[in-house]
Amino acid sequence: MLETKKPLPKGSKKLINAWAFYDWANSVYSLVISSAIFPIYFAALFAENNKILFLGYEVKNTAMISFVTAAAFIVVAFISPLLSGIADFIGDKKRFMRTFVYMGSLSCVGLYWFELNTIYLGLFFYFLALIGLWASLVFYNSYLPDVAYPEQQDRASAKGFSMGYIGSVLLLLFNLSMVMQPKLYGISGTEGEAAMKAMKYSFVSVGIWWFVFSHYSFYFLPKGNKNNEKITRSIFWNGFRELRTVYRQMAGNFPLKRYLTAFFIYSLALQTVMLVAAYFGEEEIAWGSDSEKTIGLIVSILLIQIVAIFGAILAARSSIRFGNIPTLIAINLIWVGICIYAYYIHTPMQFYYVAGIVGLVMGALQTASRAAYSKFLPETEDTTSYFSFYDVAEKIGIVIGMFLFGAVDQITGSMRNSLVFFVIFFIIGGLMLFRVNKKAAIQ
């Protein structure tokens, strides 16, 4: 693969832009697959019967997708430290990041064959695509301290999220035009059949977009910090040993330890809400017709993405002025209000209101969290291990959150009841942030 011969210096605008551009490449998965087109396609497949027969048990379709998502994050939580340890040893984290990008993007193309008669194959591709995305983000996030100095990291993190929102919205608009006007693109069949075909073409477009645009980042990102090449059995488990080392080092770093504990709790709620928002809107909101539902859900997701651009920028400015921790506390309190209000909504207009506020605080919480963590880190070249710890905490939280969500959905028959758990987690996470030394994230 082509790579720049002369490495760009840390802190250079071109290097930071190249790093942030990976958000442009991968965020289309989060928007089109996780949030917009796939949930609508998935629900349409189960319009007549929302049960899936699995191991002799009837599982609700939305509970099933929650369990598959949780299973994918279990794999990511296990393999991330394994791979990051090897990447730190050989000094080539780019190679591993590229491997997962290829796996994820090709699996998105594989979603074209997601049908009722191939449901297990389709769920397998969905499973692999999730692993590809989130495993690649372990290495992507670990590059932040390598490409930007501490005083640049808030703006760099915000730039990444903003570029991701802009790029994903552009592709979603294209996909939306295919779904609403399939004949303009030569897609044949009845209105319903053509729309379903267009959605499958959308999955393919995500895979191609992700694959192609990620190479701009690969071209400029540095290979790593070391030149070791041979991987031996003795260093195979280095990642887990490094996690243990990171955990021990945190014993004397109370701001980092307390911050990670709070992050684990509120991120559990945040990531789960983001992963199931579209399924909630599809099932719990009283849309007038199928076409209104499709348009309404995609408009809601677009609203979230557009507003999130401003949320990420506001979070960066607020963090610079007030500090990351006060900013995170305020955002958690807003999330508490959102979950309480969402429990009672039933109409499309109410869903739009929630979508607007969610967009504002979704990007804000993500960008402020990533930037705050990077500032708590001690001076080290092996940043991958620390970000692996961060990502493992996030993934374990998602596993717990998705299993909780799926269990409540399966038992009660309604996703609405799961919001009660998220309110509790946001409250506890916000309260625990008060125990973090606020000045430590600025020094």
Q: How many domains does the chain have?
A: 1
Give the helix ranges, DSSP H, for 189-289: 191-220, 238-249, 254-284
Task: Note whether residue 107 is domain-resident.
Answer: yes
Most confident of the ranges 36-45, 107-116, 302-311: 107-116
Q: What is the mean pLDDT of residues 296-318?
A: 80
Task: Note whether residue 3 is domain-resident.
Answer: no
Tell me the three state secondary structure of residue 55. coil
Specify the pLDDT at position 205: 96
Q: Rounded to whole angstroms, how far apart are CA atoms 359 and 331?
A: 12
Specify the pLDDT at position 125: 96
Task: Note whether residue 279 is domain-resident.
Answer: yes
Q: 237 or 266: whose pLDDT is higher?
A: 266
Task: Note whether residue 49 is domain-resident.
Answer: yes
The whole domain housing 265 covers 13-225+242-441
Task: Note whether residue 6 is domain-resident.
Answer: no
Task: Note whether residue 370 is domain-resident.
Answer: yes
pLDDT tens-digit map of 199-223: 999 999 999 999 999 999 999 888 7
Q: Which of 20, 412, 389, 8 is nearest to 216 (CA)?
A: 20
Predicted model pTM: 0.77
Q: Predicted confidence band at 1 (pLDDT cuts at 50, 70, 90)? A: low
Q: Is the dihedral of CA 12, 18, 21, 23 positive or negative?
A: negative
Task: Note whether residue 411 is domain-resident.
Answer: yes
Task: Note whether residue 230 is domain-resident.
Answer: no
- DSSP of 80-138: HHHHHHHHHHHT-HHHHHHHHHHHHHHHHHHGGG--GGGHHHHHHHHHHHHHHHHHHHH
Any idea what the CATH number is for the domain that residue 355 is in? 1.20.1250.20
Specify the pLDDT at position 442: 42
Token pair for residue 86? 């090897």
